Amino acid sequence: MSWISTLDRWQWALFAAVPIGIILLYFLKLRREPVEIPSTYLWSRTVEDLHVNSLFQRIRRNLLLFLQLLAVALAAFALLRPGIRGQTSAQPRSIFLLDASASMMARDTEGRQNRFETARKMIRDRIDAMDDRETAMLITFSDRAEVLQSFTSDRNRLRAALDQAQVTNRPTDIIGALEAADGLANPRRSSTTGDENDVQVADPQPADLLVYSDGGFRDVEGFDVGNLKPVYRKIGSDQARNLAITAFNADRNVEQAGAAKAFGTINNFGASEETCNVSLYVNGQWRDSASVTLGSGEETGLSFSLADQEDAATLEVRLESSTGGSDQPFEDDLLIDNYAYAGLRPLRTVSVLVITTGNKPLRLGLSTDNAAKICVPTFKSPDYLQTPEYAGRAEAGLDDLIIYDRCRPEALPNTNTFFIGALPSDQWSWASEPGQTILVDVDRTHPMMQYLELFSLLIFQGRAVEGPPGTRELVGGDAGTVLALAPRDGYQDLVLGFELITTGEDGSPQTNTNWYAERSWPVFLLNVLRYLAGAADATSAPSFLPGDTIRLRVESQLESVDIARGNGTPETVPTGASGSVEYVDSDVPGAYKVIANGKLVDLFCINLFGGRESDILPRESFDLGYETVETAGTVETRKEYWRWLLLGMLALIAVEWWLYNRRIA
Amino acid sequence: MHYNSRMSATTESLALLSPELLAKLERLELVSRKVFRGRMKGERRSRRKGQSVEFADFRNYVAGDDLRLIDWNLYARLDQLFLKLFQEEEDLHIYPLVDVSESMNFGTPTKLHVAKQLAAALGYVGLCRADRVSVQALGNQGRRAPVLRGRSGLWKMLQYLDSVTSGDNVSLHDAIKDFSLRNSGTGVVILISDLMDKGGYESALRMLVGRRMDVFVMHVLSPEEIDPPLRGDRRLIDAEDGDETEITINAYVLKRYQETLQSFISSVKTFCSRRSIVYLPVRTDQPVDDVMTRYLRQRGVVR
């Protein structure tokens, strides 16, 4: 039998005043009704011996007072919370590992409480059951471990630490917690063995390692439990229901401007078949829905097509109830994975270096409104190729695209190139003599050839080109390939077999084709920028896990950016060297916007795309090093009696009231 | 709970003895276990030999005997002088004493009323038998009590009883002492009282016995005393001396009260039987005629 006092000293002092008050009040309130009787002769003889010590006799003979005092005594006992331990622990030390990962938010335990609260209650019961000789520590773990309370026998501190523990949206990694527990329970030798001067700071002591979790983590390999005696307390129901979005991504269709597609994967981790609606919201506006029915353990993929989505957008997919009204969220045991976010980034601004002696059509084509949005061109003369600045630039691949107009570098740069009327390297060769060229075939399947009407082109002097193996013909002429694309070590070289501008014999520029006057010219250049320069690349916003540290790169001249979730209040984050931004406040899933100077510069998303977290059916056992830890059948709790004491107190008060009424009547 | 049954004299006298009861009482006779010397000739046999018609004994003649008593027939036959003795019939002094202390003024009907009824009934029995009857209230009111003889004294007796009121709080001892001083002779004393005297009843009874009275004690108790209808926290006030007793009455206390009452009654009983006093417990809820005609006859007090 152990006691936990629920009152402080001064509160007990106040409480002690209650029975004293009852006795005093009893004498004060005692109104004796005067009755005239013939003689007190017999009565006085009756109470003769009561008069000897009348005060105590009166108390002794008063059942009502006695009952009242008994009720107060019972209340005092109840306040002391008497109880016995259901089961005694083997070890005097305990380490509580409390799983604070996202899956612990599942509300599948008794009373729709979430697992974390249930585990917390179990730990609290366990702490209550501790006696003074036992020590315990408390560690929570999600994707990182946190020692909330190191070894102590002070139960109040343990309880306070337990109150501080909070469930997170993060995935689970138990290793950190195990290492923390291991470090405290199995102290390593501080130096080599056999050194007499090496004083060990702590003796290893055995400890119970109590893991309160649903087992939603990877088995731990290569961990020696040593003195730790692992006990797994399984939290959660085997009948849990959970539909989860395990993947969601949106990307632009590089082959089709403005078109985008969103892909999602939905899993049913529950034990029963579920039906729900999957709705897609773009910038908070409903766009599309689909109905999904999944049996237990099944998975399905969903895709939504988006048109006219040139601009940046945030996408959200929600699981909604198929039966309730529209926008009713789907109710399963774990809600956090019923939402997923993705973003379509704004088009990238690409840097284009143009090496030319002068090419007006090219200059015009790169400065159209649409091109200017995504392209920063730099024009240099071929002399520039000899400068060290160019060498460094080419080596580092600072430009997204280098256009060589009728010239050729000594070595190809580490970036994509577009050669106009020139061959990139010796691997390329001319396949025909210069002559008038008639275009015969255009490969419209290639994104760079989209929307192009080229058959009306006049080309005065062109040659067919032949590239290295893997070269793809984009435009074919009567003499052979006119426009070819070839891969090169991860880069691509685009080679055009005719010049746009030729230099006349007098040195003045002459046109070699009428392409610059065609509508297809700026479109072609835009396609080149999108595809070859990569403006349309990586338009899908990256997704991070909750709790991840998010590193972004923005333009280095920005001093700070504002980062906001959805339409929330932005948080200003200073940019570091070379435009890197680190954002750590990433616990809440959502689509985050990075805004600089009022302009959206980047997007990222935080999603719980962890199958392990969403797979909320609790595991029966897990491997810890070379041991398999099975769930402990019985849960050790303190058996408390205060409820019965309180009931007894109420019964006493009822009896007292009944007696009182019977007496008055 | 304070009863004050003050009624008019007539209604009370009527209530004291009903005509039917009077008729029954006429046939009764008070039995005295002692034979007393009476002052006047009565209807009662005396130990003394006298002049009644009833033969008692013979004895030898001694000089100085009344020659009229010699049985001449025996002298003729035996030639010896014998006296023929006859039973003397004498009157008896009957003293029904009524305790009029305030404690008697309690109950429905009050103990005092019942006591008066009993006194009147017993007195009437005596009057009918030509005994010398003096119904007396204990205390000062007893001093004006008439001494009556003959059936015609009934009216006077009832008048006296009517005039007696409660509230004469003298102790039993003092009252009996006063009575003894005033009445020197012997006789039958019927003490009608609740015996609730804090000074004790023993000395009073002892005094009566010492004066060679034939003592009857009629112990009048009301049902409220035998089984008090009191519960809870009470302050009990003594009607006689205003003494207060604070008490919380519960089943335990009531049980103790019953025990005290029973031990009180049995102590009185023992005290009386040791001294040849007839102890007669009477409940006030018993009808007086029932007491007189049945109960007292059963106990051999009257015949």
Q: Domain ends where: B58, B75, B90?
A: B90
**Does B2 fall in a domain?**
no
Range with top average pLDDT, B34-43, B99-108, B268-277: B268-277
Domain A350-532 part of CATH 3.40.50.880: yes
Count CA atoms closer than 13 A to A323's CA, side-chain side.
3
Check the CA dihedral A230-A231-A235-A239 and report its sign: positive
Per the domain annotation, does B4 fall within a domain? no
Matching CATH number, A243-346+609-613, of 1.10.10.60, 3.30.70.1530, 2.60.40.10, 3.40.50.200: 2.60.40.10
Nearest to A39 among B103, B107, B253 (CB): B103
* Residue B265 shares a structural domain with residue B287: yes
- Whether B243 and B136 map to the same domain: the answer is yes
Single pTM value for the model = 0.49
Q: Dihedral of CA A336/A337/A338/A339: which sign?
A: positive
CB contact under 8 A, A42 and B261: yes
Cβ of A43 and B245 within 8 Å?
Answer: yes
Measured N-to-C along each axis, helices B9-16 and B154-163 cross at an angle, to the nearest 10 degrees, of 120
| In a domain? residue B303 | no
| Residue A383 Cα distances to A380, A386, B200, B285, angstroms | 8, 6, 149, 146
B120 and B65: one domain? Answer: no
What's the confidence (pLDDT) of residue B11?
A: 44
Do B83 and B154 lie in one domain? The reply is no
Question: Within this chain, do residues B63 and B205 fall inside the same structural domain, yes or no?
Answer: no
SS3 A180: helix
Q: What is the ipTM of this complex?
A: 0.72
The answer to whether residues B133 and B234 belong to one domain is yes
pLDDT at position B5: 38
Question: Does B197 contact A40 at a Cβ distance shorter than 8 Å?
Answer: no
Contact A35 B250 (CB under 8 A): no
Same fold, A93-187+203-237+618-640 and A350-532: yes
List residues in chain A touching B: CB distance below 8 A. 30-47, 50, 58, 61-63, 663-664
CA neighbor of B277 nearest in space, from B179, B204, B205: B205
Mean pLDDT for all residues in chain B: 81
B3 falls within a domain = no
Given a cut of 70, the residues of chain A with pLDDT beneath it are: 1-2, 29-31, 48-62, 85-91, 185-204, 254-257, 324-326, 348, 535-539, 555-557, 577-579, 632-639, 663-665
Distance to chain A for B286, nearest Cα, Å: 19
pLDDT at position B59 over 70: yes
CB < 8 Å to B105, chain A: 38
| Nearest alpha-carbon partner for A95 in A206, A220, A201, A253 | A206
Q: What's the CA dihedral at B106, B112, B115, B117 to 10 degrees?
A: -110
For residues A482 and B87, the model is more confident at: A482
CA neighbor of A457 nearest in space, from A399, A406, A524, A502:
A524
* Torsion of the alpha carbons at B165, B168, B173 and B178, rounded to the nearest 10: -80
Ranges B83-87, B122-126, B179-183, B188-192: which has the least confidence = B83-87
The pLDDT score that the predictor gives to residue B7 is 39
Which residue of chain B is at minimal alpha-carbon distance from A32? B234
Query: Do residues B52 and B138 both lie within one domain?
Result: no
Is residue B49 over pLDDT 90? no
Q: What integer pLDDT is reported at residue B1 of this predicted model?
A: 40
Q: Is residue B78 part of a domain?
A: yes
Where is pLDDT greater, at A454 or B6? A454
Q: Are strands A435-437 and A459-462 parallel, antiparallel or unpaired?
A: antiparallel
pLDDT computed for residue A633 by the predictor:
52
**Binning pLDDT at 50, 70 and 90, where does residue B52 land?**
low
Q: Are residues B100 and B215 in the same domain?
A: yes
Please tell me the predicted confidence (pLDDT) of residue B219: 92
Q: Which residues of B touch A (CB under 8 A)?
A: 1-2, 102-107, 111, 194, 196-198, 222, 225, 228, 230-240, 243-248, 250, 252-253, 256-257, 260-261, 264
If you ran DSSP here, which 8-state letter would residue A271 be given?
Answer: S
> Which of A416, A417, A395 is closest to A408 using CA atoms?
A417
Is B1 inside a domain boundary? no
B186 is a domain residue: yes
**CA-CA distance, A41 to A369, in Å (whole number)?**
124
**A35 closest CB neighbour out of B194, B237, B250:** B237
- In angstroms, the CA A172 to CA A192 distance is 35
Measured between alpha carbons, how far is residue B17 from residues A603, B13, B20, B122 in Å?
A: 121, 7, 8, 11
Q: For strands B132-133 and A560-565, give the pairing.
A: unpaired
Number of domains in chain B: 2
pLDDT of residue B102: 86
pLDDT at A231: 82
> Do B46 and B191 lie in a common domain?
no
The confidence score (pLDDT) of residue B200 equals 85
Does B28 fall in a domain?
A: yes
Tell me how close the Cα of B257 comes to any Cα of chain A, in angstroms: 5
B49, B31: one domain: no
Do B207 and B237 lie in one domain? The reply is: yes
Q: What percent of chain B has pLDDT over 70?
A: 86
pLDDT at residue A496, rounded to an integer = 92
Instruction: For domain A93-187+203-237+618-640, say whether CATH 3.40.50.410 is its number.
Output: yes
What residue segments make up the domains of chain A, in order of their start? 9-82+645-664, 93-187+203-237+618-640, 243-346+609-613, 350-532, 543-606
Q: Look at residue A58 in the predicted model and tell me its pLDDT.
A: 56
Q: Which of B106, B238, B263, B284 to mutate to test the interface with A (most CBs of A within 10 A)?
A: B238
Which pLDDT belongs to residue B43?
A: 60
Asked whether the beta carbons of residue A47 and residue B247 sit closer than 8 angstroms, the reply is yes
Residue-range definition of the domain harbouring residue B97: 9-36+92-298
So what's the pLDDT on residue A251?
79
Closest chain B CA to residue A29: B233
Nearest to B257 among A34, A38, A46 (CB): A46
* Of the residues B90, B120, B153, the one at which a domain ends: B90
pLDDT of residue A54: 55
pLDDT at residue B176 is higher than 80: yes
What's the CATH fold of domain A543-606? Immunoglobulin-like (2.60.40)
Q: Which chain A residues are closer than 8 Å to B250 by Cβ?
A: 61-63, 663
A&B contacts, CB < 8 Å: 99
B194 shares a domain with B82: no
